[in-house]
């Protein structure tokens, strides 16, 4: 089969012919139809310090995808409401957990201390076929098309972050208008926030945020976040903030714009440690909550359920996909994603 492989330790990837995988006990073989590019994949291609510390080549990369079940390994549950069957269409949770650590046993599988990541620690989805544990398969209804199904991994990050705190009637700030930030804006609007404000330095990304439902999209290269208070008639500050950028400047400005008792969910990963105003965090009683991945599998349920209820939400989430490439043009796909001038980039493996 075709597979996009990190063949050796170093920069670059290669599209190679490799043996087709066979599912072992408890595993499912899936024909990949669509796959999304993530910032993680760009780190792996360039072979930065993080990638060098995590990967052991040769390895098939990629972890965001939608496909069709083609084979079940021995012992995979079948039949009934929750069983798997050949021919079902699905998305896949890319975090493979141990099932035995304290968090796994307590039902907090997204906090597993022994997580193995698809496309990082085990062969991934940039290929014609991929094998995953049956428990990682999320069967999708017909309403979820291949493009939507391919972005469920990053959409899950957005939903996990956005739904960390109650949103009804709240004023919400989202710093960072990458694909996850834009999807978060759509979710926050769908969930009943009063005002949704999104910040970024890219006008094209801010325009995507407006189309996704943001009331105000602020270019922080030109104006400050605090100006939103007067423009929207807010009397105190933001109730909820979702930090999606990993920017120290964004975090510092965000904290200064929160109301007393404000709550901040932080998903964006900074490149380096940085200082923040802990005095303000303490005296304003601000809650900071780190977010990683998706809650397994409550976030997945909420994603599918919300998308089933609203064509507007489906269109807004789908709108983050700005570029599509056939798998053979993988280098063009990576170059587009790396340009920073696009939304979500999807590769077609069908």
Known catalytic residues are 40, 43
Distance from C-alpha of 213 to C-alpha of 185, rounded to nearest angstrom: 6
Distance from C-alpha of 41 to C-alpha of 6, rounded to nearest angstrom: 10
In the chain, count H helices and then E strands: 13, 18
Q: Assess contact for 262 and 243: CB atoms under 8 A.
A: no
Structure tokens at 330: 């993988």
Distance from C-alpha of 153 to C-alpha of 97, rounded to nearest angstrom: 16
Distance from C-alpha of 6 to C-alpha of 56, rounded to nearest angstrom: 9
Distance from C-alpha of 293 to C-alpha of 87, rounded to nearest angstrom: 27
Closest CA to 172 of 214, 201, 220, 227: 214
Distance from C-alpha of 4 to C-alpha of 61, rounded to nearest angstrom: 6
Q: Is the dihedral of CA 275, 278, 284, 290 positive or negative?
A: positive
Name, in order, each residue with C-beta under 8 angstroms of 227's C-beta and a sequence gap of 6 or more.
Answer: 218
Structure tokens at 119: 């496309």
Peptide bond into 137 cis (omega under 30): no
| Number of Cβ atoms within 10 Å of the Cβ of 13 | 21
Q: Assess contact for 183 and 317: CB atoms under 8 A.
A: yes
């Amino acid at each position: 089969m075709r597979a996009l492989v990190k063949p050796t330790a170093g920069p670059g990837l290669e599209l190679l012919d490799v043996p087709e995988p066979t599912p072992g006990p408890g595993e499912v073989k899936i024909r990949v139809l669509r796959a999304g590019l993530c910032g993680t994949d760009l780190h792996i291609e360039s072979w930065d310090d993080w990638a060098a510390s995590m990967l052991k080549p040769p390895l098939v990369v990629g972890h965001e995808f939608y496909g069709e079940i083609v084979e079940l390994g021995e012992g995979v549950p079948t039949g009934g409401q929750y069983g798997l069957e050949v021919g079902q269409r699905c998305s896949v949770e890319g975090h493979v957990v141990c099932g035995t650590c304290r968090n796994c046993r307590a039902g907090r599988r997204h906090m597993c201390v022994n997580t193995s990541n698809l496309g990082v620690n085990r062969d991934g989805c940039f290929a014609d076929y991929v094998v995953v544990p049956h428990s990682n398969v999320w069967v999708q209804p017909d309403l979820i098309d291949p493009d939507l199904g391919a972005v469920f991994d990053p959409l899950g990050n957005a939903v996990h972050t956005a739904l960390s705190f109650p949103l009804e009637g709240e004023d919400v700030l989202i710093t960072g208008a990458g694909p996850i930030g834009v999807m978060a804006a759509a979710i926050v609007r769908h969930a009943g926030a009063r005002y949704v404000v999104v910040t970024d330095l890219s006008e094209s990304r801010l325009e995507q945020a407006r189309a996704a439902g943001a009331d105000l999209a602020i270019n922080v290269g030109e104006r400050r976040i605090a100006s939103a208070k007067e423009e929207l008639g807010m009397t105190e500050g933001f109730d909820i903030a979702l930090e999606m950028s990993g920017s120290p400047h964004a975090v510092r400005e965000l904290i200064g714009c929160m109301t007393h008792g404000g709550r901040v969910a932080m998903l964006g990963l900074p490149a380096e440690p940085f200082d923040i105003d802990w005095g303000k965090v303490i005296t304003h009683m601000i809650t900071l909550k780190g977010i990683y991945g998706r809650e397994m599998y409550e976030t997945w349920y909420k994603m599918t359920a919300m998308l089933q209820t609203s064509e507007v939400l489906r269109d807004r989430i789908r709108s983050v996909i700005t570029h599509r490439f056939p798998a053979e043009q993988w280098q063009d796909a990576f170059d587009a994603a790396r340009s920073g001038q696009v939304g979500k980039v999807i590769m077609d493996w069908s």
